[in-house]
Structure 1
Amino acid sequence: MSETKPLGRKIMSPRILPEVAPFWQAANEGKLLLKRCDDCREVHYYPRDICPHCLSINTSWFASSGEGRIYSFSTMAIKDAVYTLAYVTLDEGVSLLTNILDAEPKTLRIGQRVRAVFWPSEDGQSVTMFTPF
């Protein structure tokens, strides 16, 4: 996928902080990483060093299945470009705001299964999006 406008708009490059560099490196390899607290065992997204549930600094990376369900979505249009933003709840239990690719908006539904795909941003850094399966 060499285009940088899969949605008819630019995909902004993320700001990569050192504590989340493994997340972005994994995205470039086609993998979605999440964080789990080693103390309370809660999974969290967006990955960060400190657990947002118990404030522990003992967190570890693990590979997500990359699969989940659409929790909510909204389809928008800018000029001729139509795109869908969605909250996807991953099988691991966390939700993230993302884009849905390769789907006619009128065919999407709440609860529909989706899987992670990776698309290059303006600077080439892969970002996670989802597609139905």
Structure 2
Amino acid sequence: MSTKTLATALPSETVHITTNPVTEPFWQAAKERRLTAAQCAVCGAFRMPPTPFCPECQSDSIAWPELSGAATLYSFAVVHGFPGLPDITLVSAVVDLPDAPGARLISNIIDIDPDEVEIGMSLTVDFHPISDDWLLPVFRASGKE
């Protein structure tokens, strides 16, 4: 009898980020266990990843509203093994953020049998520790926190 391997995040020490003035508010919020998205302070358009200028109106004014943490799975891939980590199973995902229309976030779904992952499923944000004391937004199936 075989046991299924649940999807996980990469080990903390293997994930490193680099911030800049445009992306740092996102990472600072994540460090506080809050999910945010860049929103144009002029026209209200959301954008992820954050960019210095709004693609709709070209304004450089950015707001960072806190989101609920709810998401819907838009697309995914199951990865069995990773360089140097042959036994790891990852579910890499693109998620829609309903609180930020038009914004999508690339992340991972954790603590789930990859065979149970379905496009359109409801997800909830969680935060996984990574290097340098940062936290990475990851997602779980709603109701499985």
**Matched residues, percent identical?**
29
Partner of 1:62: 65
**CA distances 1:10-47 after superposition (whole Å, capped 9, x unpaired):** 54211011333222111111001112112221111112
Which amino acid letter does the alignment assign opposite residue 113 of structure 2? Answer: E
Point out where structure 2 has 5 or more consecutive residues left out of the alignment. 1-7
Which structure is higher in strand share? 1
Alpha-carbon separation, structure 1, partners of 2:117 and 2:29:
28
2:76 maps to which of 68, 73, 78:
73
Number of aligned pairs? 128
Query: Could you say which structure has the larger radius of gyration?
Result: 2
In structure 2, the residue matched to 1:7 is 9
Deviation at 1:8, TM superposition (A): 5.1
* 1:77-88 mapped onto 2 (5 Å cutoff): 77-78=80-81, 79-88=86-95
TM-score normalised per structure 1: 0.87
Q: Structure 1: 5+ residue runs without aligned partners? A: 1-5
Task: Output the TM-score relative to the length of structure 2.
Answer: 0.80
CA separation of 1:99 and 1:81: change in aligned 2, threshold 3 A = same
